Amino acid sequence: MNQKELSFTMFLIWRLSEAWDMSPPKVYAKLVEVDALDGYILPFYDVLHTLGSRYLVEDITDLVRERGGKI
């Protein structure tokens, strides 16, 4: 993971934390649990980092739910 991907991931975790009313460590654990980081966010960083935060939160929320995660 390079610096840009790390910064984006941190940004995303904080936005999800606010949307899900959950602490950032719990959000991170949830993303790892459903393989959202290595299986979606990082591989598609080039596209995802160009999108707005509202869309990203909705997209990742849907992804977590589709993969069986509870928010």
Instruction: For residue range 18-29, list pLDDT tens digits in order.
Output: 999 999 999 999
Residue 12 lies in a domain: yes
Residue 36 scores a pLDDT above 90: yes
Structural domain range at position 53 = 3-66
pTM of the shown model: 0.93
Residue 71 lies in a domain: no
Q: What is the pLDDT of residue 31?
A: 98
The mean predicted confidence, pLDDT, of the chain is 97
Summarised one tens digit per residue, pLDDT across range 45-66 is: 999 999 999 999 999 999 999 9
Q: How many domains does the chain have?
A: 1
Nearest to 43 by CA among 53, 51, 35: 35
Q: What is the pLDDT of residue 1?
A: 86
In the chain, where do the E strands start and end? Answer: none
Residue 17 lies in a domain: yes
Residue 59 lies in a domain: yes
Q: What is the pLDDT of residue 40?
A: 98
Residue 45 lies in a domain: yes
